[in-house]
Amino acid sequence: MNLWFRLLVMLLRRPWRRPVPGLATTVVRLRVWPLDLDFNRHVTNGRYFTMADVGRMDYVLRSGAFRVALRHRALPIVGDVWGKFRRELKLFESFEIHTRMLGWDHKWSFVEHRFVKDQRVIAVVVMRGLFRGPKGTVPPAEFARELGLEEQSPPLPQWLYEWSASCDGLSASLREEEYLQIQQ
């Protein structure tokens, strides 16, 4: 099913969904449709990243992050996404996406999406992103304060630091390659 249709359904349900604190977990219930499948007749890997957008939009709207972004005239930017797939989802199966803010550093905010079926985590998608406005990137600590959270992030797991550092390393490597190509 198309992302736009899922987003529309989520928005139509929004008036009946309560606001949540910034560190709360939001839950969106979805179903697997034919356009979500690959040739193996299960949800294609890339579709998990697309469906995570629906969970993230629900979180952003319900947590108040959307209002903070509007005050800064900032847009959300996804920097990097990582996925872990444990089990498959098949046609017409229902599942939930549990979305929560893991924390932030000096530049990035980290959001986790857990795909859950029958109380079992079948996949996890982790995203690091930021909000960029006309004056540049909105510092995550400032954004957190405006959401009513402490400016200091909750403790981040070691694997998340390492993943973020590897993303920074890849970005640096790509910049270096581009620089060397320009020099030639």
Asked if residue 11 has pLDDT above 70, the reply is no
What is the reported pLDDT for 183?
87
H or E stretch including 83?
Answer: strand 75-85
Instruction: Kindly report the number of other CB atoms within 10 A of residue 112's CB atom.
Output: 18
Taking residues 116-127, report their average pLDDT.
98
- More confidently predicted of 13 and 154: 154
Which of 124, 123, 127 lies closest to 104 in space, CA to CA? 127
Asked if residue 118 has pLDDT above 90, the reply is yes
Please name the residue that has the structure tokens 């797991």.
Answer: 157
- More confidently predicted of 61 and 112: 112
Q: Sign (positive/negative) of CA torsion 75, 58, 6, 49? A: positive
CA dihedral 157, 163, 169, 170 (to 10 degrees): -160
Asked if residue 5 has pLDDT above 80, the reply is no
Average pLDDT over the chain, rounded to whole?
92
Asked if residue 93 has pLDDT above 60, the reply is yes
Structural domains of the chain ordered from first start = 3-154 (3.10.129.10)
Alpha helices in 98-157 (DSSP H): 140-146
CA dihedral 68, 71, 73, 76 (to 10 degrees): 0
Asked if residue 1 has pLDDT above 60, the reply is no
Taking residues 73-99, report their average pLDDT.
96
Taking residues 139-144, report their average pLDDT.
95
What is the reported pLDDT for 19?
87
Structure letter (DSSP) for residue 39: T
Asked if residue 33 has pLDDT above 50, the reply is yes
Structure letter (DSSP) for residue 137: E
Segment 60-79, tens digit of pLDDT:
999 999 999 999 999 999 99
What is the reported pLDDT for 17?
73
